[in-house]
Amino acid sequence: MNDSRHVTIVMVEDDEGHARLIERNIRRAGIMNEIRHFADGGSALRYLHDDANGPAHNGPALVLLDLNLPDMSGTDILADVKSSERLRRTPVVVLTTTDDKVEIQRCYDLGCNVYITKPVNYESFADAIRQLGLFLSVIQVPEANA
Amino acid sequence: MAKLSDRTANALVLGAVVTGFLALMAIGLLGVSVTQRNLAFTDRVAHTYEVQDAIAEYRILNEQMETARRGYLLSAEAQFARDFQANLERLPQALQQVEDLTRDNPQQQARVARARAITQRQVEAARASVALRRAGAIDFDNDVAAKETRALRALTAEMARDEARMLTERNSERLGSVSQLIAVIIAGGVLTLAIAVGSLWVIWRYTRDLTESHQALAKLNANLEGEVANRTAELRRANEEIQRFAYIVSHDLRSPLVNVMGFTSELEAAAKPLDALVERLEAEAPALLTPEAKLAVTADLPESLGFIRASTQKMDRLINAILRLSREGRRVLTPEPVKLDALLTNVAGTLKHRADELGAVIEIAPNLPLVVSDRLALEQIFSNLVENALKYLKPGRPGRIELRAHRRGERVIVEVIDNGRGIDPKDHSRIFDLFRRSGAQDQPGEGIGLAHVRALGYRLGATITVESALDLGATFRVSLPVTLSPDAVAA
């Protein structure tokens, strides 16, 4: 629990509404970690790789990734993170509307840690986020320089 | 060159062949008659030769007799007398021979008669002269035999000339008939050649026309195949585009829907404390609570939220249906041998619980055929049809659903027959459209099942038809190819 307190949640989500709903539910689940929200893939990648407080240089992080982004596909970001020496241990949770089997398999093949389909049914959605909170509280996010 | 029609060509070829045969027959007959005439001429020529021979023989005998007589008269040797006697004895027979051979010629017969008379006199005179010499006397001055011999020589020469003249005539006649024969043969040859060339020309022309039309047909066929291939490729592209479009659209529609649903729930959650507040106000300070505010919070707000929720849920179901359809369209089909008995039994088994609840029975006919097709798609098609049959039974009538199949040529017809409420004939084509339904809307559903069935059927190369009338049940017929071709799978 101590470690998770330092973990920054990097949310890559172009839909403001979704981002707000995710954040609300994360907070309701009792997760108080810092949430950094990016609406496009480019700025998210810049943060992940280059920011002084980003996971590549300092501090553990968890990436919440939407696959449908305006400037690039979420799978490109996933592939980038998982092939980077400094970032590949960073857990990536894909949270998207796509429930295509092929797409899900591809994400796991690329090294995604958890794949969650955004259910339209809000109760299921909230439930999924709460479980994500549970997940956050038990995982051991590695230190960037560990 | 003008093209020959089949009929004209056939008539021409047949006519040429028949004409050729007739001409050959005529020439053959003509040849026979000419040859016969030629033979007759030859016979006559040969006969003339015989007559000439006989005349010559007679003349030689005569000369030999005269020579022998003269010899005897001069030398009186016995040998000459014997020679004379021998030739003399043979003379009548030789003359008879000439007479026999010239019976067809009265002139020669007359000459023969004269010759006989002369011969008689000659022989008598000759014998007399010989007898005289034997007695020892010779009378050369009054030699009657020599005179008669000269007369006879002239007569026989005349006969020989006559025969020679006839020989010339007959020979020229024979030669004439030979050249006639040659002319007939040449004419026949020329005619045969002409007919052969004509027939060959007609056949060649006909064959060339046939080859040309064959080539044209082959070209047309090739074009047609190419055209079909092009169209198929276009259709496939269009279909793929629609699938992709449906997929993208339904996905992108989902995203805002998540927001609508999410924030509706948030609103509901937010309405709860408001509700509590209104209750407290009502209890503690009713003066502050206007009826409008109370109505808004306790009735209007929950009702509106309820409608938003129901509509978004419905929209979600519709989007999911489109997604499912597009996903089905992209699934790779795997044809395998499928026993329809087993497949339909399986389908009925999964729906048995529902059927029992409704008091309906599902009957499967025995000995159903085998098909090579995609098992999953077939299961989905028949599950949907049987499910529909169970869904739209006629209330108050025990449900009875029958599954049958029979082979017809290269296709298998599977029938799903129910005794339910039936479908109005005017809706028969509509029910296969997406989101369209028919009859009383008293059953849950979005109007997706039959659209799905039809889309799946198309992929399997199957057609689905319905036969039904209100209250009289419905029969859904699925006509499947016995073997799903790999081409269809690739599409």
- A24 interaction partners in chain B (CB closer than 8 Å): 266
Write the CA distances from B199 to A29, B4, B171, B193, B208, integer angstroms.
102, 14, 42, 10, 14
B244 lies in the same domain as B127: no
Question: What tens-digit pLDDT sequence spans chain B (491 residues)?
Answer: 455 567 777 787 778 778 777 877 888 888 888 888 888 888 888 988 999 899 999 999 988 988 988 888 888 888 988 888 888 888 888 889 888 988 888 888 888 888 888 888 888 888 888 888 888 877 777 788 888 888 888 988 988 898 899 889 888 888 888 888 888 888 888 888 888 888 888 888 888 989 999 999 999 888 888 888 888 788 778 877 877 887 777 778 888 888 888 899 889 888 889 889 988 988 888 888 888 888 888 888 889 998 998 888 888 888 888 888 777 777 788 899 999 999 999 999 999 999 999 999 999 999 899 999 999 999 999 999 999 999 999 888 899 999 999 998 889 999 999 999 999 898 888 888 888 888 888 888 878 889 888 888 888 888 899 999 988 899 999 999 998 876 655 54
Question: Measuring CA to CA, which residue among A36, A37, A31 is closest to residue A138?
Answer: A31
- A119 interaction partners in chain B (CB closer than 8 Å): 258
Contact A15/B255, CB-based, under 8 Å? yes
Q: Which residue shows structure tokens 């890559």? A: A12
Hey, is the C-beta of A139 within 8 angstroms of any chain B C-beta?
no
Which domains, ranges and CATH numbers included, belong to chain A?
4-138 (3.40.50.2300)
B118 lies in the same domain as B57: yes
B347 lies in the same domain as B377: yes
- B255 interaction partners in chain A (CB closer than 8 Å): 15, 18, 68, 97
Tell me the nearest-neighbour CA distance from A24 into chain B, angstroms: 10
Structural domain harbouring B204: 6-211
Identity of the residue numbered A26: I
Contact B258/A21, CB-based, under 8 Å? yes
Distance of alpha carbon B155 from alpha carbon B161, whole angstroms: 10
**pLDDT at residue B490, rounded to an integer:** 54
pLDDT at A126 over 80: no
Structural contact between residues A81 and A47, judged by C-beta atoms closer than 8 angstroms: no
- Please check whether residue B365 lies inside any domain of the structure: yes
DSSP at A7 = P
B125 lies in the same domain as B268: no
**pLDDT at residue A11, rounded to an integer:** 92
pLDDT confidence tier of residue A4, bands split at 50, 70 and 90: very low
Structural contact between residues B319 and B253, judged by C-beta atoms closer than 8 angstroms: yes
Question: Measuring CA to CA, which residue among A12, A27, A143 is closest to residue A89?
Answer: A143
Contact B258/A68, CB-based, under 8 Å? no
Q: Which of B309, B328, B347 is the last residue before a domain boundary?
A: B328
B250 lies in the same domain as B195: no
Hey, is the C-beta of A102 within 8 angstroms of any chain B C-beta?
no
- Please check whether residue B217 lies inside any domain of the structure: no
- A18 interaction partners in chain B (CB closer than 8 Å): 255, 258-259, 262
- Comparing alpha-carbon positions, the chain A residue that sits nearest to B264 is A122
- A98 interaction partners in chain B (CB closer than 8 Å): 251
Distance of alpha carbon A8 from alpha carbon B189, whole angstroms: 114
- Please check whether residue B54 lies inside any domain of the structure: yes
Question: Measuring CA to CA, which residue among A90, A76, A69 is closest to residue A19?
Answer: A69
- Please check whether residue B1 lies inside any domain of the structure: no
Contact B251/A98, CB-based, under 8 Å? yes
B198 lies in the same domain as B239: no
**pLDDT at residue B487, rounded to an integer:** 64
Contact A118/B261, CB-based, under 8 Å? no
B202 lies in the same domain as B104: yes
Q: Which A residues, 24 through 83, put their C-beta within 8 Å of a C-beta on chain B?
A: 24, 68
- Please check whether residue B478 lies inside any domain of the structure: yes
**pLDDT at residue A140, rounded to an integer:** 57
Hey, is the C-beta of A121 within 8 angstroms of any chain B C-beta?
yes
Helix (H, G, I), strand (E, B) or coil at A10: strand
**Helices (H) and strands (E) in chain B — how many of each?**
11, 7
Contact B254/A120, CB-based, under 8 Å? yes
- B266 interaction partners in chain A (CB closer than 8 Å): 21, 24
- A15 interaction partners in chain B (CB closer than 8 Å): 255-256, 258-259
B55 lies in the same domain as B162: yes
Contact B258/A24, CB-based, under 8 Å? no
Instruction: Render the burial of A94-112: b for 16+ CB within 10 Å, e for the rest.
Output: bbbbbbbeebbebbeebeb
Which of A21, A25, A120, A129 to probe the B interface (max B CBs under 10 A)?
Answer: A120
**pLDDT at residue B489, rounded to an integer:** 57
Q: At what angle do helices A122-138 and A16-28 cross, to 10 degrees?
A: 60
Which of B243, B248, B254 to probe the A interface (max A CBs under 10 A)?
Answer: B254
Size of interface A-B (CB pairs under 8 A): 49
Q: Supply B298's token pair.
A: 């306790």
Identity of the residue numbered B317: R
Residue B191 is part of a domain; what is its CATH number? 1.20.120.1730
A133 versus B267: which is more confidently predicted?
A: B267
Distance of alpha carbon A68 from alpha carbon B254, whole angstroms: 12
- B254 interaction partners in chain A (CB closer than 8 Å): 97, 118, 120
Query: Can you tell me the mean pLDDT for A70-84?
Result: 89
Helix (H, G, I), strand (E, B) or coil at B367: coil
Distance of alpha carbon B130 from alpha carbon B69, whole angstroms: 7
- B318 interaction partners in chain A (CB closer than 8 Å): none
Question: Measuring CA to CA, which residue among B350, B429, B421, B422 is closest to residue B386?
Answer: B350
Hey, is the C-beta of A118 within 8 angstroms of any chain B C-beta?
yes
Q: Which of B296, B328, B360 is the last residue before a domain boundary?
A: B328
B29 lies in the same domain as B85: yes
Which of B251, B322, B324, B327 to probe the A interface (max A CBs under 10 A)?
Answer: B251
**pLDDT at residue A143, rounded to an integer:** 53
- Please check whether residue B59 lies inside any domain of the structure: yes
- A125 interaction partners in chain B (CB closer than 8 Å): 258, 261-262
Hey, is the C-beta of A100 within 8 angstroms of any chain B C-beta?
yes
Judged by average pLDDT, the poorest of A81-85, A96-100, B59-63, B427-431 is A96-100
- Comparing alpha-carbon positions, the chain A residue that sits nearest to B253 is A97
pLDDT at A138 over 70: no
Instruction: Give the predicted TM-score (pTM) of the model.
Output: 0.51
| Structural domain count, chain B | 3
C-alpha torsion angle, residues B360, B362, B363, B367 (rounded to 10) = 180
Identity of the residue numbered B33: S
In this structure, chain A runs to a length of 146
Distance of alpha carbon B209 from alpha carbon B201, whole angstroms: 12
pLDDT at A144 over 60: no
pLDDT confidence tier of residue A3, bands split at 50, 70 and 90: very low
C-alpha torsion angle, residues A125, A130, A131, A134 (rounded to 10) = 170
**pLDDT at residue B484, rounded to an integer:** 84
B318 lies in the same domain as B385: no
Contact A122/B264, CB-based, under 8 Å? yes
B274 lies in the same domain as B338: no
- Please check whether residue B216 lies inside any domain of the structure: no
Contact B316/A126, CB-based, under 8 Å? no
Hey, is the C-beta of A108 within 8 angstroms of any chain B C-beta?
no
**Partner residue opposite A122 with nearest CB, options B254, B256, B261:** B261
B274 lies in the same domain as B384: no
- Please check whether residue B474 lies inside any domain of the structure: yes
Distance of alpha carbon B428 from alpha carbon B475, whole angstroms: 11
pLDDT confidence tier of residue A1, bands split at 50, 70 and 90: very low
Q: DSSP states of B66-128 as a string?
A: HHHHHHHHHH--HHHHHHHHHHHHHHHHHHHHHHHHTTT-HHHHHHHHHHHHHHHHHHHHHHH
B284 phi/psi in degrees, rounded to 5: -100, -40
Distance of alpha carbon B246 from alpha carbon B239, whole angstroms: 10
- A97 interaction partners in chain B (CB closer than 8 Å): 251, 254-255, 258
**Partner residue opposite B316 with nearest CB, options A18, A100, A120:** A120
Q: Which of B272, B298, B328 is the last residue before a domain boundary?
A: B328
